[in-house]
Structure 1
Amino acid sequence: MTKILMVATNVDQIADQQTGLWLSEFVEPATEWRHAGFEVVGASIKGGRIPIDPKSYSNELPRVWDGVMEPIHDTTKLSEINPESYDGIFFCGGHGAMVDFPNNKDIGFLLAHFIQNDKLIGAICHGPAAFIGAKDVNDTAVIKGRKVTGYSNKEEKESGLEEDLPFLLEDQLQEEGASYEEGEPSSENVVVDGNWITGQNPQSTHAIAEIYKEHLQ
């Protein structure tokens, strides 16, 4: 069975604001992929229950999401993951990812495996923060020369957290040599570059889930 590792943030606060995973960026792809017969495993740097950004859901969650949310109630620690077991990796967004994804050795180790074995790598919104600081075997940034997207500077300025983040994602992706492709704010934008599939924002989640699925079938 095709197996996908979905990585979420453990960070629940930035400055004085609650944050965490942007819920739809896990649940919508997980729903799509489960319906396609894929197995989804939730993971995070620390493991355990994933904090959810309160702005990413209302009190009434869709009933169809109930079972799909199980993997984020008790995630596996990244350090305990055997990448050989997975066909693809996907980094979910939410502002918390800007804090714990960059420059993380466990993420770097996993990315190295997926790159060397030509496996599928995906990320949505703030999820591409996972690529920041990750190096290949030649000590070169893994995203140097790659076409990617992610939450744009324009979108970040509208979020209200711009001043509290360690960096702006668009700027840092370009700083590490990526070819950043910006779409309109809050509009669907998915960029495919070989085995790398990135989406700009929550509005891109359904499209990236479909494209990612097609690459695994």
Structure 2
Amino acid sequence: MKNVLIVVTNHATLGETDQANGTYSPEITHVISVLNEASINYDIASIEGGKAPLYGTDVEGDDVNLRILNSESFSNRINSTLPVSQVDIEKYAAIFYPGGFGLLSDLADNAEFARLAASLYEKGGVLAAVCHGPAGLLPITLSNGESLLASKQVTGFTREEEIDFGTIDHIPYLLEEKLARSARQYSKMQPWSEHVIEDGRVITGQNPASAHGVGKALVKQLKQ
């Protein structure tokens, strides 16, 4: 059985502001919907464990988001996430980082999850992320001392999308710039259009519209 570890933020605000934040709900629920359809099990973990903050739970017209949010299975997991100290990475074939601004403030420089992700990747596992989720890939260093991203083409939330979303002045840093400086190549499409990149066993999506595609790409690799 190939299990997926979903890694979420404990940071509940947008940067240093008091605006409620955390993980952007549709980016986790749409991927979970795809995992459920493929009968792939998942666990949710965070640095501290416990209840993880979500926002975007009231997006209009998103039936998938509402269905997953209202499921007992998801509620139990998101309200009692595994702390990183209790994660047995040997149980998982993939790690998925959903987006949300909170992750920029904790997972983007967390050494413990970075070590787990490097271990999983070097044993043939898959790493996937969407929107701001690729920030979770930034601290991953492989056993040869090289950054995971140094040889990878990736995408992630763009400067234009930050401007459109009204967050450009409140984020801790611009993810596009961090990825462009860290990865072999950073790629983006028109704002808010679906864009998913698979570079070997690293899968990234640009924005919320890319979450379903990231989920499909992840399932495809796990089924191979």
Q: Does TM, scored on the shorter chain, surpass 0.5?
A: yes
The separation in 2 between residues aligned to 1:212 and 1:59, in whole angstroms, is: 26
Q: Counterparts of 2:62 and 2:189 in 1: how far apart (Å)?
A: 28
Corresponding position of 1:39: 41
Q: CA deviation at 1:60?
A: 8.8
Aligned pairs (5 A) from 1:1-217? 1-14=1-14, 15-53=17-55, 55-58=56-59, 62=63, 64-65=67-68, 66-67=70-71, 68-70=73-75, 71-217=77-223
Question: In structure 1, how many angstroms separate the alpha carbons of the residues matched to 2:180 and 2:60?
Answer: 38
| 1:152-192 deviation line (CA, Å, top 9, x unaligned) | 11111222222222211110012123311101110100000
What secondary structure is seen at the aligned counterpart in 2 of 1:49? coil
Q: Flag structure 2 segments of 5+ consecutive residues without an equivalent.
A: none
Relative to structure 2, which stretch is displaced further, 110-119 or 65-74? 65-74
Q: 1:92-151: per-residue Cα shift (whole Å, max 9, x none)?
A: 111111111111011211121122112111001000011223222233221002011110
Q: Between Structure 1 and Structure 2, how many residues are aligned?
A: 216
Deviates further, 60-69 or 167-176: 60-69
Q: Name the SS of the counterpart of 1:87 in structure 2.
A: strand
CA RMSD of aligned residues (A): 1.7
Give the AA of the match of 1:51: P
Give the counterpart letter for 2:67 in structure 1: V
Deviation track 1:3-56 (CA, whole Å, cap 9, x = no partner) reads 000111111112131111110111111121122111110111111111112x45
TM-score (norm: length of structure 1) = 0.93
Quick check: 56-65 or 151-160, which moved more?
A: 56-65
1:178 is matched by which residue type in structure 2?
R
Whether the aligned pair in 1 keeps the contact of 2:12 and 2:22 (CA below 8 Å) is yes
1:30 aligned counterpart, secondary structure: helix
Give aligned-pair identity as a percent: 30
